Structure 1
């Protein structure tokens, strides 16, 4: 049990009705989970408003209510606290409830459109190999040193974040690497956390179903850097024009990385093949098992972060050469028939372009590049024709198919994608609504030395159709289909 006033430390409060010296069991923002002597935080969400469930929370035993508007009908035994913003209040309360666990860690946040998962996961790998106890909060999984939990969001809610950070404290974790999404920043899930550093990867067309405009999306990302303390570092991709913008108001120490510009951490690609990358990082050469120029940027960010966190340069270089690709991020296999299949999470125009250009840079052009791609339903529709254009322009053959259609008609999504195809590219394209059949067809079309790219879902092990999640793994399916060809 903890006193309510201690949970409310540093929360911006407008009005208090009742007693804040009462003992509280736990903090909840989902009224269905409320139990005796809990404090319920009413959040105004995009789907429902928690203020409508205040009475229900009290009926279930809530001893205190935190809300943006105190209800007219109040219960005498219940304490009501009116705050400016419930999301911010929840995040600060979560940190207080779990004993400010981020203070006891070197917590580094990674934000940007592409590369978040790869950078956070490979930093976890690198620091583990360096002998430290490490934590990871990513899209793919949550790791408390070696203990794994399933991830449900890019940035979990603030209660879950602080719960896992507390677990890390108890496990003796020293470093934690965390993906920080624009949704998470906008919904104040990272408020109240103490970051040792922040990394900016890049910014391109994504999440405009949520943020409405690119400017709004960019400004939300910047809020993360605005909130860093002077004791922290901010490391940004200088080759992205938004990198300098992220640093404008930050109190953190400023650093940059780049392949094309002068930067604190400067990279040069010496060799780029399906076996890996030979890079020059500042004045040091290093061989990495990762592939493509986008991974050169990721490795630069990892190299810079590791140095800023105090690791020796020579040790970092040795560890970089041993890093392996993240599940669903340029994950590839080569069949007995010498057909290369690549699975990548590329679900934005920029990510798809990067992956296709990387493959085209590596290949000899004596083989065909066959791309299987779709777009998610109930999400940003503006990017669909753009992705259709990129896929058709940079591939020899394209099969448009379903991604996670959710509640939308898959055929309509494909129709939207096809609007971006240039007339000269139409003959390259096929449309197959069933994703498994699309992957099977790509395998049947492929000949020796051809390359198949399956984009959009990457690490996901399901397909979301009309509210149902069906088991679906791109990598496993293409592996099975290519095996069938060998029989």
Structure 2
């Protein structure tokens, strides 16, 4: 059992009352999980202030309290530690508690608005195919080599991160690929982790409900690169205007990739179709099963990262050609009549635009594009009219519907999307609140060779309304409807 002093190593302390020799069974930041001899870290969260639950944690058996403001009344026999930032303290403590597991493998973080899940998941697949033991921390799942665990956040809390990195150490994982969200960076969840490298994909409109301004959102992403050690690599997309901003204060080796600009790693799209695309990376051609400009960027980032991590270039190209699309990322289904249904996680204006522009580039012009799309509740409201505008401009018919309304009114969310539709596009728009009925309507309207895009939820297999989750899988539902209709 570790002592409080052991797990506080490297934490900036403002004040200490009591002994730091107290034994610590485990670390908790949820008072409901506290047991005997645990340390409770009181965090001032977005919705709840953990300081209100200090007494409850002590009653449950906590003998050590880490907090930003010491209680007015201190209890004898309890150790109190005051820190400037409890989020940061928790992360460093978690790393110490689990034996600094990130130091014992090569951890690569991927940040940006779009592409994080695809890049981390495909890097995991590529390194597995290359014969390594690999870990994955992603929006979709956590993988410790081949053992899968569920996940609820893009970047888990720091205790969860270090717990799974520790498990990876135990089974001999050599590489781990991790999505790093702006929320995770802002809440210091990656503090204390040692990264071998970081990748920046792109930056567009998202999470402004949390960060308030685009500049704050961008600067939060930059934290990952600012903290890289000198021996690490910082890989950035310089076709994105924010790509070089990420590099301004990093100590790491600066490496660039691009399709349109001069860069250390460059690619060209030679051919694009629904079955895949032909890319030229450096002097070599590569057939990829992933389509669209956005996936060309993803594949190039994967190639560059694998090269920087020491894999042989021709071997990387061979493995890239074998990679399959990630669930809910331009995942497509072809019906017996040749109707193409595409399910994509596009839940930001830029992602929706990228997917629809890719579809419109691939179509011959004789097909109709039906888009089913909604926006999540309790999230950035400012993007709703923008997404409504994009969907109605780039589709023949658009059906506005529910995504995960959470605690908001679905009809109100749809109204806010409708506000972005220009008068000339009114006739293209249908609004059907029930998502299943919206998908069914798109299937009924579609004819042979038409294209149905169902956007926003992607890999999610649930719909959340007022805290209740029901089973809901876009890909499964659209396939069932097209089969039932004999299309």
Counterpart of 1:321 in 2: which secondary structure? Answer: helix
Residues in 2 aligned to 1:185 and 1:36: alpha-carbon distance in whole angstroms = 31
Structure 2 partner of 1:41: 41
Q: Alpha-carbon deviations, 1:116-136, whole Å to 9, x = none?
A: 000000000000000000000
Q: Alpha-carbon deviations, 1:455-480, whole Å to 9, x = none?
A: 00000000011111011000000000
Residues in 1 aligned to 2:265 and 2:295: alpha-carbon distance in whole angstroms = 15
Residues in 1 aligned to 2:377 and 2:20: alpha-carbon distance in whole angstroms = 46
Structure 1 partner of 2:341: 341
Normalising by structure 1, we get a TM-score of 0.99
Residues in 2 aligned to 1:486 and 1:227: alpha-carbon distance in whole angstroms = 56
Structure 1 partner of 2:10: 10
Alignment of 1:272-287 (within 5 A): 272-287=272-287
Residues in 2 aligned to 1:475 and 1:129: alpha-carbon distance in whole angstroms = 27
Normalising by structure 2, we get a TM-score of 0.99
Q: Alpha-carbon deviations, 1:413-471, whole Å to 9, x = none?
A: 11100111111111111110000000000000000000000000000000011111011
Q: Alpha-carbon deviations, 1:65-123, whole Å to 9, x = none?
A: 00111112111101111111100000000000000000001000000000000000000
Displacement, 1:217? 0.4
Alignment of 1:406-417 (within 5 A): 406-417=406-417
Displacement, 1:258? 0.4
Structure 2 partner of 1:470: 470
Structure 2 partner of 1:353: 353
Structure 1 partner of 2:216: 216
Aligned residues between the structures: 487
Query: In the alignment, does 2:105 pair up with 1:105?
Result: yes
Q: CA RMSD in A?
A: 0.6
Residues in 1 aligned to 2:144 and 2:107: alpha-carbon distance in whole angstroms = 13
Alignment of 1:36-115 (within 5 A): 36-115=36-115
Structure 2 partner of 1:305: 305
Structure 1 partner of 2:390: 390
Q: Alpha-carbon deviations, 1:153-193, whole Å to 9, x = none?
A: 00000000000000000011000000000000000000000
Question: Which has the higher mean CA deviation after the structures are superposed, 188-197 or 18-27?
Answer: 18-27
Residues in 1 aligned to 2:19 and 2:449: alpha-carbon distance in whole angstroms = 73
Residues in 1 aligned to 2:119 and 2:335: alpha-carbon distance in whole angstroms = 28
Residues in 2 aligned to 1:283 and 1:68: alpha-carbon distance in whole angstroms = 56
Residues in 2 aligned to 1:142 and 1:403: alpha-carbon distance in whole angstroms = 24
Displacement, 1:22? 1.9
Query: In the alignment, does 2:196 pair up with 1:196?
Result: yes
Residues in 1 aligned to 2:64 and 2:432: alpha-carbon distance in whole angstroms = 54
Residues in 2 aligned to 1:301 and 1:181: alpha-carbon distance in whole angstroms = 18
Residues in 2 aligned to 1:240 and 1:189: alpha-carbon distance in whole angstroms = 26
Query: In the alignment, does 2:205 pair up with 1:205?
Result: yes
Alignment of 1:206-355 (within 5 A): 206-355=206-355
Residues in 1 aligned to 2:21 and 2:376: alpha-carbon distance in whole angstroms = 48
> After the TM superposition, which segments of 4 or more aligned residues of structure 1 sit over 3 Å from their partners?
none
Structure 2 partner of 1:429: 429
Structure 1 partner of 2:449: 449
Counterpart of 1:486 in 2: which secondary structure? Answer: coil
Displacement, 1:398? 0.6
Structure 2 partner of 1:126: 126
Query: In the alignment, does 2:139 pair up with 1:139?
Result: yes
Structure 1 partner of 2:483: 483
Residues in 2 aligned to 1:284 and 1:111: alpha-carbon distance in whole angstroms = 27
Displacement, 1:288? 0.6
Residues in 2 aligned to 1:115 and 1:18: alpha-carbon distance in whole angstroms = 48
Displacement, 1:233? 0.4
Counterpart of 2:185 in 1: which secondary structure? Answer: helix
